[in-house]
Structure 1
Amino acid sequence: MTVAAHPALTFRQALLAMLGVSLVLMLSALDQTVIGNALPTIVAELNGFELYAWVATGYLLASIVTIPIFGRLGDYYGRKPFVIAATLIFMAASLMCALADGMVTLVIGRALQGIGGGMLVGTAFACVPELFPDTRQRLRWQILLSALFSVVNAIGPGLGGFMTAHLGWRSVFWLNLPLGGLALFFAWRHLPWYRPKTGKVIRMDWLGAGLIAVALGALQLFVEWLGHSSALVCTALGLLSLVAFIALWFQERRSPAALLPRALLAEHSMRVLFALALLAGAVMFTLLFYLPLLLQGGYGYSPQQAGVLITPLALSITLGAIVNSRVMTRMSNPNRLPLGGFIALGCACLGLALVGTNAGFNTLLGLILLAGLGLGFIFLNLSVFTQTLVERQYLGIATALQQSLRLVGGLLGTACMGALVNVLYAWRLAQQLARAGQTQALALLADPQVLSHGSSELTPPLLTLGRHALIQAMSIGLGLCALLAVIAVLVLRRLPVVQLMPAPLAPQSAKP
Structure 2
Amino acid sequence: MKPTADRAPGPGMLLPFRQSMLAMTGLGFVTMMVAIDQTVVGTALPTVVAELRGFELYAWVTTAYLLTSIITIPIFGRLGDFYGRKPFVVASIILFLISSVLCGMAQSMIQLVMGRALQGVAGGMMLGTAFAVVPDMFPDPRVRLRWQVILSSCFGVANAVGPTLGGFLTFYLGWRAVFFMNLPLGLLGLFFLLRYLPNVRHMQQANIRLDWQGSVLIALALAGLQFLVQLLPMYGARLPMVGLGLFAVACMTAFVWWERRCEAALIPLDMFTDRSVVILCLLSFFVGFILFALLIYIPLLLQGGFGLTAREVGVLITPLVVSITVGSIASARVLPRMKRPDHILHIGFALLLVCGVGLLLVWAQTPRIVLITCLTGCGVGLGLIMPNLTVFIQERVKRSQLGISTALMQSTRMVGGMVGTAVVGSIINHYYVERVRQLDVTPFGKGSWLARLEDPQVLVSDQVQSAFIGALQRLGLHGETFILHARESLVWGIHAGLILTLVVAAIALLWLLRLPAISFDRQPAAAPLQNAVAAGREPAADTRESP
User: Aligned pair in 2 of structure 1 residues 136, 418: CA closer, same or farther (>3 Å)?
Assistant: closer
Matches within 5 A, 1:89-108: 89-108=95-114
Which residue of structure 1 lines up, in the alignment, with residue 510 of structure 2?
A: 490
Stretches of structure 2 that go unaligned for 5 or more consecutive residues are 470-478, 525-547
SS at 1:226 equivalent: helix
SS at 1:204 equivalent: coil
> Which amino acid in 1 is paired with 2:91?
A
> Which amino acid in 1 is paired with 2:484?
T
Aligned equivalents of 1:122 and 1:191: distance in 2?
16
Which residue of structure 2 lines up, in the alignment, with residue 285 of structure 1?
A: 292
Which residue of structure 2 lines up, in the alignment, with residue 397 of structure 1?
A: 404
Aligned equivalents of 2:338 and 2:202: distance in 1?
35
Q: CA deviation at 1:473?
A: 1.1
User: Aligned pair in 2 of structure 1 residues 236, 154: CA closer, same or farther (>3 Å)?
Assistant: farther
Aligned equivalents of 1:152 and 1:330: distance in 2?
28
Match status 1:53 vs 2:64 = no
Aligned equivalents of 1:152 and 1:254: distance in 2?
44
Q: Percent identity?
A: 48
Deviations 1:451-508 (A, max 9, x none): 122412232211111011111111111001001001111111211222135589xxxx
SS at 1:377 equivalent: helix
Match status 1:479 vs 2:499 = yes
> Which amino acid in 1 is paired with 2:294?
L
Check the 8 A contact 1:136/1:501 in 2, yes or no: no
* Alignment equivalent of 2:282, drawn from 243, 250, 275: 275
Deviations 1:401-448 (A, max 9, x none): 011111110000001112112222111111245346353231121211
Match status 1:500 vs 2:520 = yes
Q: Which of 455-464 and 350-359 deviates more? A: 350-359
Q: CA deviation at 1:125?
A: 1.3
> Which amino acid in 2 is paired with 1:70?
F
Matches within 5 A, 1:64-103: 64-103=70-109
Match status 1:316 vs 2:336 = no
Q: Which of 106-115 and 366-375 deviates more? A: 366-375
* Alignment equivalent of 1:407, drawn from 375, 394, 414: 414
Matches within 5 A, 1:105-504: 105-142=111-148, 144-145=150-151, 148-149=154-155, 152=158, 156-196=162-202, 198-199=204-205, 201-229=207-235, 231-356=238-363, 358-435=365-442, 437-440=444-447, 441-454=449-462, 455-456=465-466, 457-458=468-469, 459-500=479-520
Check the 8 A contact 2:159/2:322 in 1, yes or no: no
User: Aligned pair in 2 of structure 1 residues 134, 328: CA closer, same or farther (>3 Å)?
Assistant: closer
Give the TM-score taking structure 2 as reference length: 0.87
Check the 8 A contact 1:277/1:402 in 2, yes or no: yes
Q: Which of 128-137 and 286-295 deviates more? A: 128-137
> Which amino acid in 2 is paired with 1:76?
F
Q: Which of 454-463 and 276-285 deviates more? A: 454-463
> Which amino acid in 1 is paired with 2:399?
R
Stretches of structure 1 that go unaligned for 5 or more consecutive residues are 505-512
Which residue of structure 2 lines up, in the alignment, with residue 35 of structure 1?
A: 41
Q: CA deviation at 1:371?
A: 1.0
> Which amino acid in 1 is paired with 2:513?
R
Check the 8 A contact 1:24/1:83 in 2, yes or no: no
Give the TM-score taking structure 1 as reference length: 0.93
Check the 8 A contact 1:150/1:380 in 2, yes or no: no
Check the 8 A contact 2:6/2:400 in 1, yes or no: no
Q: Give the alignment's Cα RMSD to 1 decimal.
A: 2.4
Check the 8 A contact 1:125/1:399 in 2, yes or no: yes
> Which amino acid in 1 is paired with 2:125?
M
Aligned equivalents of 1:175 and 1:485: distance in 2?
33
> Which amino acid in 2 is paired with 1:80?
K
Which residue of structure 2 lines up, in the alignment, with residue 508 of structure 1?
A: none
Aligned equivalents of 2:253 and 2:157: distance in 1?
37
How many pairs align? 505
> Which amino acid in 1 is paired with 2:226?
Q
Aligned equivalents of 1:443 and 1:89: distance in 2?
41
> Which amino acid in 2 is paired with 1:405?
T
Check the 8 A contact 2:63/2:421 in 1, yes or no: yes
Deviations 1:274-312 (A, max 9, x none): 110000010000100111111111111111111111001
Q: CA deviation at 1:226?
A: 2.2
Q: CA deviation at 1:149?
A: 4.7
Aligned equivalents of 1:153 and 1:251: distance in 2?
41
SS at 1:36 equivalent: helix
SS at 2:235 equivalent: coil
Aligned equivalents of 1:202 and 1:402: distance in 2?
24
Aligned equivalents of 1:103 and 1:283: distance in 2?
25
Aligned equivalents of 1:134 and 1:338: distance in 2?
21
Q: CA deviation at 1:131?
A: 1.8
User: Aligned pair in 2 of structure 1 residues 479, 126: CA closer, same or farther (>3 Å)?
Assistant: same
Aligned equivalents of 1:150 and 1:403: distance in 2?
19
> Which amino acid in 1 is paired with 2:486?
G
SS at 1:34 equivalent: helix
Check the 8 A contact 2:146/2:333 in 1, yes or no: no
User: Aligned pair in 2 of structure 1 residues 390, 154: CA closer, same or farther (>3 Å)?
Assistant: farther
Q: CA deviation at 1:368?
A: 1.1
SS at 1:228 equivalent: helix
Q: CA deviation at 1:65?
A: 0.9
> Which amino acid in 1 is paired with 2:451?
A
